[in-house]
Amino acid sequence: MNATSTPADERIAELRGEIDACDAELIRLVQRRLAVSQEIGQLRRDSGGTRLSLAREQQVIARFQDALGADGAALGMMLLRQGRGRL
């Protein structure tokens, strides 16, 4: 600790490091999820199926809603939208 920083400042800096690590992991997971989702979409289209599966999307949103409430559902919808690209 230097002369001007308090114990709270030190702890905040430490916790911000944890947040930064969480964010980096989340970004990596979102990118991985997008790649997997796009691969599934391509496989379905190549075999003559639809690009989207609304029943599956409802399951995904319900999972986020159950775990995280209304904001979770919104987050799930953002992830789904990311994988859709141009409709």
Ligand X SMILES: C=C(O[C@@H]1C=C(C(=O)O)C=C[C@H]1O)C(=O)O
Would you say 16 or 56 has its CB closer to ligand X?
A: 56
Helix (H, G, I), strand (E, B) or coil at 59: helix
Q: Measured from the CB of residue 19, what is the shortest distance to ligand X in angstroms?
A: 26
d(CA 5, CA 12): 11
Longest distance between any two alpha carbons in the chain, whole Å = 68
Site for ligand X in 27-66 (CB under 6 A): 37, 40-41, 52-53, 56-57, 60
Instruction: State the nearest-atom distance from the C-beta of 70 to ligand X, in Å.
Output: 19
Q: Return residues touching ligand X (CB under 6 A).
A: 37, 40-41, 52-53, 56-57, 60, 80, 83
